[in-house]
Structure 1
Amino acid sequence: MPAMNIDITQTTFVYSALPNKNMSSYPFIYVGTNTIRQKSTGLLQLDLSSIPSTHVDGAFLELAVTCKTNSAVSPIYVHRVTEPFVTSSVTYNTAPAYAEAASSVKIFPSDLYSKVKIDVTELVNSFLGGAYPNYGLALTNPDDLTAVYFAADNSLYSPFLPKLTVNYAASPEAESAVCFSYNQLANVLSQIITYYPDDTVTVFTKGFAASSVTGTPYQLYSSPDGTYGGIFILLDSGVQQAVPLNSIAAVYTGDGTVYNPSMSYLTPQHFPEGCGTNIV
């Protein structure tokens, strides 16, 4: 099973004591609470573009513990960030929102000067598969008692630099450029359903005798074994019209449609050279 080590080169933290100050120049990621820095949250951005797959079997966040307050165990939670941020400018007052915790680890005093691993497989797959945009991760400690310092991306001791380790199936070439193009199409169609539910959409299909299907966007159907939708369903006067993704040539959202800036797109991965990259 191939493995990759990905350097995490965008880290910072924000804290309530200095709500307007950016902390990305500090060589640590401070997470937790103390009397000086009060409440602090770590932030990391992940570059997953080098992963040659849209699914991994395992993904682990590796962070080095360089300092810890209090002898009590520190619970560290990992969250999916839900909006964009820039590590070099974000502050406590401009910090992005994040979802409920997806994974966690307990930090003991004995973990000092060593690396801990946090399972983030579910989060990474949600980014790779397009379930959520990759806005990065947030680290929190809700105990209101302890704080943990993790080595940041600018730490002077290279063995302590933060990393993401991933394992994926032995045949990543199966995740071809063609598969990614359908994943991207499904991603766009799902957002058309969300942002333009009442607009009349025209779907043009492929073939020697090109045709089209018109209706309001209704559903993106996925098979039980599928990882993204395979059939785009429109409503035409209450009647469902089903169009397989592999037959779609173009989608027209109608006259007067204004582009919604909330639309997001999957990041292209590295694909093996060959037929897939020749035709996509």
Structure 2
Amino acid sequence: MRRIAPVLAIAALAIASLSACAPAETGKDVSCNPYRSGAASSTVTASGKVGSEPKIDFPTPLRAKSAQVSALVRGDGAQVGQGDVVQFKTTISLARTGQKLQAVGYDANGDAFWWTKQKDALAKSLLCQTVGSRIALTATAKQIFGEGALAQQGIADSATLVLVTDIVKRFPGKADGVNQLQTPGLPAIVTAPDGQPGIVLPGDPAPKEKTTAVVKAGGGKTVRKGEKVLVQYSVFQWGDTATAGQSTWENNSPSLVPAGDDSSTYPFSPQLVGKKLGTQLIQVVPADATGAANAAPQIIVIDLLGVVS
């Protein structure tokens, strides 16, 4: 879920096509979405099949005093909930002139991902929508991307943008498997309500070999070698205490990891093969296997969210 500025594309996904229709209220349960269709968003039309780059039209100059969302196509797939990760494609236009600023996800670079845990207008616009939907969001650059995010492109925070977004797929934002008995000698995991893990070290020293154990056993699809797995993960250093390091939870950016890859980028990649989606893993990597000078053993907690085709 890299920010759209400068680029958001991550992996391609083929989806079923739907035909465009008139704007309408969004989602199966519109009461949970903070935005409604308004005078600005309801004027946006987008022709073409969902999943392909649309031809967008709206009267210019278009201005929206508050964020608005209208449904251009209502999909019949699963509904997006708070904390889900959404796979999507989007086209961004400048509302004042109609100029297309960026189209994301329609080429070989693939779709984008956004986490609805975030508080920006894009995340909020995705809530309660259904997979297969196409929505039009009108909001300011600041509301969508944050203060000063598009200043280098010459776009003011107050400028109204139009985003036409196709919702490709939704994934749970955290592992939802069944808790397993703790493996002796490995750290215990405690999780926040949103799924972010913390570590409680055991009294034993760190294992001398790379060790992986299942913390939560998922019940979803079994991961095959070579598949791209959407994961959340956190890295801790094993010392007198567990020191937090890199974390997708902190970066608001779940990662796509090729299952079975033996590269050192993701040391847990080989252990993803054969696991079921919804699983949470813990892995301890000895200091001499990290490749870094004066390194401490690493503890990695991994949540398997989904497979991206």
Instruction: Give the number of the structure whose residues are more often strand, by fraction.
Output: 1
Instruction: Give the number of the structure whose residues are more often helix, by fraction.
Output: 1
Same fold (TM over 0.5): no
Q: Which has the higher contact order (CA 8 A, sep 6+)?
A: 1
Q: Higher Cα Rg: structure 1 or 2?
A: 1
TM class by shorter chain equals under 0.3
TM-score, with length taken from structure 1: 0.27
